[in-house]
Structures are given as C-alpha cells and as structure tokens.
Amino acid sequence: MKSWVKEKLKHIADLYPQERLEKSKARYTAIWQGKLPQDRYPFVFSPAGFDYYNDVMTKEDNLRAYLDEFILRGFVPDDFIPGFFPGCKPSTIPSMFGAPEIVIGGDYTCEKILHKPEDIDNLPFPSIRPGTPAAQWLEYEQYFLEECEGEIPIHVCDMQGPTDVSAQIFGYDNLFLCAYDDPKRFHKLMTLATEAFYMLWDAQAKLLGEHFIGTHLYGWSWVPKGAPVSLSADVMAMLSAEFFDMYCAPYLAEIAARYGGVCVHSCGDFGAVMPGLCAIPGVAAVNAGQMSVKGMLDAGFKRDKVIVLSDMIDNANATLELAKRHNLLMDITLWGAWPQDIEGSRKAIIKKANQVAEAARF
C-alpha cells in the first residue's frame, strides 16, 4: 500500500468509526428489508468535492479524489458510508457489442452499429472487450481493491437497462418502430442486451466479492447484501403505458427474477408508466431523477416499495413529513447543503445535518 493511501485511510477510519457505520448500515438495512428503521430515515448530503457521474479521471487521480472526498465530508453527521464508484458512461454496455465510444463536449456516447432490423441478425454475443468502457470499470475496481487492500467497498458502475442499451446501438426511433414492425428481431436484440447486463453485473460482483456494493443509485448510497440490483431506464420518460407494458416490462421482470429484485431509475417524468412499473413482480424500488415524492404517489407509486430519493435540502422537511404520513420507505439524498467555502462553514453544515436528522426521526 502506498504511504499516501495508508495515511488517508487512517484519517478516514478515524472520521468514520465502526459504531457510526453500523448505525447507518442498520438504517439502510431496515429500509431495504421493507421496514422503517428504529430511529429515523437514512439520509446523505450529495457529493461535496467532485461529480461522481461525470468526472472522468485516471485511476490514481480518481483514487485520490475519492479519498479526499471521504475526508472532506467526514465531519457531517449524515449516513454517508465511504465507497468507490467506478464511473458512468452510457457507452459501457454498448461497448460489449463493439459499438465505438464517442465523446462530445464531455458527454460519452457511442456510435450506432445497427441501422435496420436485419442488422440485428449479425449482432455478436456480448463480451467484455479489452480497451472498452466495460473493461475500464473492471480495471478501476480492481485498482481500488488492490490499492486500499479491501478497506473501502466498491459500487457497481452505472448500469443501463436493455431498452436504453438497445436504443443506443440502434436509435430510439428505429427501436420503437422495430418493436411493432419486426417483433421477433426486437426481442432478439433486447434479449442480447439483457445478457450483456447479466455479464457485466456478475463480473463485478465476482471480482469484488464481499467488497461489492450492489447499487449505482446513487454511487454514494450504501445498500446491504441481497438488495435489489440497480438499473437505469431513462427511456421510460418517452414511453406510453401500453408500449412499456408490452415491450419493456418483461425484461425488467426477468432481471428481477434472476437477482431477487430490481431498483429502476429514470430521469424526467415517467408518471405514465409508473403503475405498470410498480406492477412488475420484483420491482422493489424506484429512483426518479426529477419527480417529487408527491408526483410519484400521484402517478401510482406503490407504497410498499423503496423510494431512492433525490431532493433539495430546502424541501427536506416537507418531503420527510409526507414520507412519515404515508409510512414510505425512503433512501434519501439531499442536494444544496454544501456552500462554496466548506471548511469555513462546518458549523452551518453540521447544523443543517442535525436539523434533517431531527426531521427524519419517527
């Protein structure tokens, strides 16, 4: 272990004593087992130092940035549990089919490799190819594991679901038309994309073993062993209820059955598919990037499922009051807590966290 890594890990261990971590883990575990914690909802403030999802760095720079982030926020009395998140690139699973990565203005996407339904017949079975984003995340995870000698757990990378992956390599318009015009080939493509999801998830779980945190929703939210797998399905905001139920839901049900449950994310307003989503056997949790808790409830969210919440700290009291009124299960991230001068505002940040903790108490 490098001396600077050892020094930072010692500092982190001092900031996050075992008693603190166990209390937070107990809160999360209760939520993911379908129960309210004994004292209060678990919550974390959003990242303070850098952007987990969009900052792309070398392995060593990434390691240093994360360790510094853990130290920076260690004084905050929330439920943050240090853990590495390898990264997010929508090109990750498409790269398993040979789709070349494209970078446009800092956004990572991929080239379409399918142009007509007949091209699906020649699509190769997915594999984790050297030099691709999928392989890169495994390399990062191996690096974090070795450099810290297993002292810090590691999250799964951002995992796109089969509909989004299929749309990226074929185009959304082409995919939707294919579902109607050539359903056999549509289902062949979706099946291959589902197999790629399995392959990448299982490779990470095998590599990391007991150090594996099975969620990218969010890359700073801890989940216990046995929690549902996480999956991004941003396509849901584009779909009608009928299309979703017929062409997307079966694959989510299959993934949920394989792993014992699934937590599904979408950005945007996907209220139209909320009833169908919550009716899928094994959908255990939903993460809405932009929908409020009230909006989710109004759209038909089932209250026996977990809400992986992202909200502004100014809304915390109202959101927590609503959650307690309906006995909702919630894993909460709050944004807007960090001032520009973090070191000079420690007392104010601690006060905010204590206020949230009190509002989250049952």
List the chain domain ranges: 3-359
For 68-97, what is the mean pLDDT? 97
What's the rounded Cα separation, in Å, for the pair 62 and 320?
34
Q: Whole-number mean pLDDT of the chain?
A: 96
Q: How far apart are CA 154 and CA 214, in angstroms?
A: 9
Confidence category of residue 105, pLDDT binned at 50, 70, 90:
confident
Q: Which helix (H) or strand (E) holds 107?
A: strand 107-110
Q: Is the pLDDT of residue 49 over 90?
A: no
**Residue 156 scores a pLDDT above 90:** yes
Residue 301 pLDDT greater than 90, yes or no: yes
Q: What share of the chain is helix, strand, coil (3-state, %, to 5)?
A: 50, 15, 35
Residue 234's CB is within 10 A of a number of other CB atoms, namely 18
Q: Which two tokens stand for residue 110?
A: 């991929």
Question: What pLDDT band is residue 55 in, cutting at 50, 70 and 90?
Answer: confident
pLDDT of residue 108: 85
- In this predicted structure, what is the pLDDT of residue 238? 96
pLDDT of residue 201: 98
- Residue 201's φ and ψ, nearest 5 degrees, are -60, -50
Measured CA distances, 85 to 10, 128, 361 (Å): 20, 19, 29
Distances (CA, A) of 280 to 152, 220, 286, 329: 34, 27, 12, 18
**Predicted confidence band of residue 136 (pLDDT cuts 50, 70, 90):** very high
Asked if pLDDT for residue 332 goes beyond 90, the answer is yes
pLDDT, residue 107, reads: 82
Candidates 232, 246, 240, 235; CA nearest to 187 is 246
Task: Please give the pLDDT value at position 13.
Answer: 98
The least confident of 8-17, 188-197, 338-347 is 338-347
pLDDT above 90 as % of the chain: 95
pLDDT for res 106: 78
Of the given ranges (45-49, 67-71, 298-302, 356-360), which has the lowest mean pLDDT? 45-49
pLDDT confidence of residue 54: 84
Q: What is the pLDDT of residue 284?
A: 98
Least confident of 104-118, 163-177, 265-279, 296-310: 104-118
Q: For the residues of 28-48, what is the DSSP string, one character each? A: HHHHHTT---SSB--EEEPPS
Fold of 3-359: TIM Barrel (3.20.20)
pLDDT of residue 268: 96
pLDDT value, residue 4: 97
pTM exceeding 0.75 = yes
User: Identity (one letter) of the amino acid at 18?
Assistant: Q
- Token pair listed for 186: 């549509």
CA distances from 148 to 20, 61, 157, 208 (A): 21, 14, 18, 13
pLDDT number for residue 240: 97
Predicted local distance difference test score (pLDDT) of residue 44: 98
State residue 50's pLDDT score.
Answer: 83
Q: Which residues contact 341 (CB under 8 A, 6 or more apart)?
A: none
Half-sphere exposure of 264 toward its Cβ, with a 13 Å CA cutoff? 31
The confidence score (pLDDT) of residue 80 equals 98
